Amino acid sequence: MKIRDSGMPEEAFWETLFDVDEIVDAFGWTGTDEPRDRHAIEFGCGYGSFTAALKDVFRGRLDCFELEPEMICRTKARIPEGCSTVHFHALDFLAEPWPSESRGAEVAILFHMLHLDDPLSLLRRVSEHLAPGGTLAVLHWRSDRETPRGPAMNTRPTLADLEHWADELNARSLTTLNLTRSPHHFAASIELP
């Protein structure tokens, strides 16, 4: 399995393409009732655009899986020195074993990750490593319109794809989230059994 068209644009341009605060809020992770000591795994931290915000939300443990060591270095630069809850793992999470300490997370953050040759295999693998009742948090480029960046249109997942994959995973629910300041993206939360 491999990610298609994974090249990242220049960082300053990349960060104009979505609103991190809106997206994190849409998932409900910043609400006052949300427990802050939860464990999450972020797949592909890239420049750390989301990691910098997620470190304040998932204060139990945030594991960041990233294939490219230079992206880990860039993301680490955005995390305050002394932050002990964010852990980086340079690995191919599609092919290599995951560290044992990353097992049992409550949330898997799959932002810009599902333009794979076989996305359902990744979702199954992630689901097997999450705690019972875990959540798959999905953010991706819209497939119903042209966007200023993103993978080829025919590789982008659709809501129908997510519904099918949720059924295959015997998910309890799939909820689409409202994004107004991130018009090039769609987001959904899949609650696992």
Mark 46-82 as b/e (b = at least 16 C-beta within 10 Å). Answer: bbbbbbbbbbebbbebbbbbbbeeebbebbbeebeee
Position 33 scores a pLDDT of 63
Q: How confident is the model at residue 149 (pLDDT cuts 50, 70, 90)?
A: confident
Asked whether the CA dihedral 72, 75, 79, 84 is positive or negative, the reply is negative
Residue 131 CA neighbour count, 13 Å, CB half: 11
Tell me if 18 sits within 8 A of 185, measured CB to CB.
yes
Position 52 scores a pLDDT of 93
Q: Which amino acid is at 90?
A: A
Position 1 scores a pLDDT of 35
Position 32 scores a pLDDT of 61
What is the rounded end-to-end Cα distance, in angstroms, of the chain? 25
- Residues 118-133 have pLDDT tens digits of 999 999 999 999 999 9
d(CA 72, CA 74): 5
**Residue 69, both tokens:** 């060591």
Global pTM reads 0.91
Tell me if 31 sits within 8 A of 53, measured CB to CB.
no
- Residues 27-69 have pLDDT tens digits of 998 866 665 788 999 999 999 999 999 998 898 999 999 999 9
Contacts of 54 (CB under 8 A, 6+ apart): 24, 29, 40, 42, 62, 109
Instruction: Tell me which of 6 and 105 has the higher pLDDT.
Output: 105
d(CA 114, CA 122): 8
CA distances from 183 to 10, 144, 155 (A): 20, 11, 19
What is the percentage of the chain residues whose pLDDT exceeds 70? 93
Residues facing residue 136 across a β-bridge: 108, 190
